[in-house]
Amino acid sequence: MLLDKKKKILIAPLNWGLGHATRCVPIIAAQLSAGHEVIIAADGGPLSLLQQKFPTCTFITLKGVKIQYSKWMIFSMAFQVPRFLFSIYREHQALKKIISEHKIDQVISDNRYGLWNKKIESIFITHQINIQSPILEKLLFRINCYFISKYNECWVPDYEGSPNLSGDLSHPKNEYYKTNFPKNLKYIGPLSRFFGLEKIPSEKIYEAIGIVSGPEPQRSEFLEKLKHDFSKLKGKTLIIAGKPDIENQQQIENITIVNHLRDDEFVKALFSAQKIICRSGYSTIMDLHVLGLSAEFIATPGQTEQEYLAKRMAEK
């Protein structure tokens, strides 16, 4: 949604890995192209990445809740519910202050549940309407819909019909879900920072490329697994470590490790790989879809959304 008059727009991605920030890139670019003033609220890696991408924007450090993933995710999340709810309250209060100080006209929140306000237009971005869970799935669905209903619109970065990328995550899987799905949904198509970049088939330089993403400690564990597996390969390999706030490059025998690549360099590297190995995060899936590339997806242990997507991509 682009506003008719020049407005001040707050855009705030969730800080669980870089995916929420990278998929906000085309939204930020579109709002700037329309002449609006964009203020970006983030922290950690997402803040660093967006500062590099949009250096002329105003930035606000807005901390989010740190969620710890484990193999027993349902029980882990249950213990973290009070902290999560408090973070929603804290974000909601912080937004009031931001609106007052910066005269915000609209807020676009990528999976940050507390960033809505009745005084301005509030938009929520998510690809998870139906949170995957082996227990209490319908209860989680209703709670999720309750928070989504606080916003004027909910933008889903996927195709409305079939085929689509997110499957049951953002499409009703039966009549119950169809009846109770949020009424403010708007399917806007996949989002990717790689839109518009030239996709040039190149020489296969790397036997494999690994893309590291997600929250700690799983991010570092995945990095170590890739280093171990790539050390057994004969050809050149590349690992993109997903740390835009740290400029560093490391060479370990046949493995080159870089913390971050510019978008054009990233695309060139992907097209020069015989095989891509990455987490099954939804933003990564959208990026590869836009580029027309496939990958070997490895879900973050205990993250039910990624487990579902990894299985779905394998079936496709």
Q: Which of 314, 284, 312 is nearest to 296 (CA)?
A: 314
The pair of three-digit structure tokens given for residue 301, joined into one six-digit string: 């242990």
3-state SS, one letter per residue, for 108-170:
EEECCCCCCCCCCEEEEECCCCCCCCCCCHHHHHHHHHHHHCCCCEEEECCCCCCCCCCHHHC
Give residues with Cβ within 8 angstroms of 18, minimum separation 6.
Answer: 45, 46, 49, 213, 242, 244, 283
pLDDT tens digits, one per residue of 151-177: 999 999 999 999 999 999 999 999 999
Here the tokens at position 183 are 């009424």
Q: How far apart are CA 131 and CA 137, in angstroms?
A: 7
Taking a C-beta distance cutoff of 8 angstroms, is the pair 17, 214 a contact? yes
- Residue 207, classed as helix, strand or coil, is coil
Q: Could you report the per-residue pLDDT of 101-149, keeping only the tens digit for each?
A: 999 999 999 999 999 999 999 999 999 999 988 888 999 999 999 999 9
- pLDDT of residue 307 exceeding 60: yes
3-state secondary structure of 284: helix
Distance CA 142, CA 87 (A): 20
pLDDT digits (tens, 9 = 90+) for 8-63: 999 999 988 789 999 999 999 999 999 999 999 999 889 999 999 999 999 999 98
Nearest CA among 292, 64, 114 for reference residue 195:
292
Predicted TM-score of the model (pTM)? 0.91
